[in-house]
Homo-oligomer: A and B are copies of this chain.
Amino acid sequence: MTVATENIGEDGFAEVVTLGENDPLRLTSGEILSPIKVAYKCWGKLNEDKSNAILICHALTGDQYARGQNPITGKEGWWPKLIGPGLAADTNKYFVICPNVLGSCSGTSGPKENNPETGEPYGLDFPVITIADMVGAQVKLIDHLGIDVLFSVIGGSMGGMQVLHWAVNHKERLNTAIPIASTWRHSAQNIAFHEVGRQAIMADPSWHGGRYFETDERPHAGLSVARMAAHITYMSEGSLTAKFGRNLQDREKLTFGFDADFQIESYLRYQGISFVDRFDANSYLYITRAMDYYDISADFDGSLTKAFEGTSVKYCIMSFTSDWLYTTAESREIVRALNAVGANVSFVEIDMDKGHDSFLLDCSEMFKIVSGFLAAEAQESGIRLP
């Protein structure tokens, strides 16, 4: 454990560990994965009693590169204003860990990685996984790092689903939970949008039944359409109108053709095209499936209240006014269930017009709330600085 005891500072340290060789990961489906690879990045320094660790859970198309340059895309990480020295997840105080989720395509085991049994990519031979399985892999990583109890688990969107799974199913292993712009179960509409994306991928002949890695083709067209459809759900109608309206793209009048006359068309096409370079189509199928399968109440007779019974985790829940994918109403359902069991819960609905993706944007109110919540809890529980 050289990583965790050294001060790796604000630049962080990224590696891929092989876990579960003697202790297989038992999946929700009943299948077994062993060994698994978990790619993660971490920042800061673990303190002596290993009580200052924060786990960051990423969303559908995220990865471990939450802060610092992403070596694959060359772009900045996806939560640079939340994680860092003096920021909410303060790397001067906390040891921050961000793993790539199971099923994804940035180094952790998933359909793109080699099946140890065959030596070739899993493709659709990778077992269908759940949010619980993603968390299962994270538990193995935390065990590997020698951490018993996480100071906090933080995530937005699908990251928030993992946070809730941690808090409900591993409640003795975390002090605080911060699910942002998230939900407790995927709704019919959520599933519907994902199904459109999956059908677009699977309809692409270049998908080759998931075995495109055996060819020199990739289902870029289908994956691009999937991303475009999803991207609309990440933005609010108001933000699309404010940003694009009916503005034309580099032209003064309509062209009466099927090119991208409107800026919104050009923008969406770019979102689709740029996505396929960084994401694996099969991973998109697996992760959307995991999200659709997600219902935190399912193991508790469908009762959200039962799911939270006996919790000692402190919750800080946030939603955004303009988020129509995972609405404030859904966050309120979580809050009500937590209140019903007398849990310690803070809830803030942030007034921001950028839709679901607000949690990934420069939202100073969100950063302040996370910062204040963590600082208060660190003081109360007497977390020692590293």
Contacts and interface: CB of A to CB of B under 8 A. Distances in A.
Interface of A: 28-29, 31, 124, 127-128, 185-189, 191-193, 195-196, 198-200, 202-205, 221-222, 224-225, 228-229, 232, 235, 237, 240-241, 243-246, 254, 256-258, 260-262, 264-265, 268-269, 272, 285, 289, 292-293, 295, 324
Contacts of A28: 256
B189 A246 contact: no
Contact of A195 (B191, B199, B205, B228): B228
B191 A203 contact: no
Contacts of A198: 258
Given A128-B257, A198-B258, A258-B285, A264 B203 contact: no
Closest 6 CB pairs of A and B: A203-B221, A188-B240, A128-B256, A29-B256, A188-B244, A188-B264
B256 A127 contact: yes
A234 to B, nearest CB: 11
B232 A196 contact: yes
A61 to B, nearest CB: 17
B188 A203 contact: no
A183 to B, nearest CB: 12
A264 B195 contact: yes
A292 B248 CA distance: 12
B195 A265 contact: yes
A203 B324 CA distance: 28
A241 B199 contact: no
A191 B196 CA distance: 17
A124 B261 CA distance: 17
A189 B240 contact: yes
B285 A188 contact: no
A26 to B, nearest CB: 13
Contact of A202 (B189, B245, B258): B258
Contacts of A191: 246, 262, 264-265
Contacts of A235: 189
A124 to B, nearest CB: 8
Contacts of A189: 232, 235, 237, 240-241
